Structures are given as structure tokens and as C-alpha cells.
Amino acid sequence: MEKKPRSVKDKRYEEKHKAERKAKSLSWGTSVPRETAENINAFLKKYGYTKIELIEAGYKALLDDAGERNLSLGKIMDGYDDFFPSELDKMKKTE
């Protein structure tokens, strides 16, 4: 029996599981200036963070910031359910 090279096996595996992988995660094709990227990578390595943790923390910080700027969003994020009728009307109009 002829043994297939690992690259052939890997390619077959990738093709077979491509849809599953795409449904599970998303890749952003974006770039960061080299100096910024190197500084970020150095920081992550020094403090033991992953790029995923960086993205999640940045997203949470932006959500918090947006909640402070937008009262209705802030209330939703904090779990308040005591909206005034005028606030509910505004939220419906922006949806």
C-alpha cells in the first residue's frame, strides 16, 4: 500500500472540513502597520496574551464606551428594563 504524503492528506482534510470551519469562525483580511503590529506582538508575548484575547478585550472596551455614549445601549448592556416610552420609540426607529 502506497503511503500518501502528509500534504495530500492535509489538503483532503481541509477540503472536507472547509464548510464546517467557515461556519465556526471568521477571518478578517486586514492589515496593521508593521511597527504597530510588532509593538502589539511584543506586548502580547511579554504579558502572555493571545491575539484572540486582545480582540475580545478591545471589543468589550468599545462596547463599554458605546454604552456610555448611548443611554439606551448602556441600559440594555447593564440589563435595565426600565425604559421610558419615549426611549422605546427612539430604539424602534433606529432598528
Per-residue model confidence (pLDDT) at position 42: 98
Select the more confidently predicted residue: 35 or 92.
Answer: 35
Give the whole-angstrom CA distance, residue 45 versus residue 36: 14
pTM above 0.75, yes or no: no
| Domain spans, the chain | 56-95
pLDDT tens per residue across span 8-18: 778 888 888 88
Cα–Cα distances in angstroms (integers) from residue 41 to residues 38, 54, 84, in the given order:
5, 10, 46
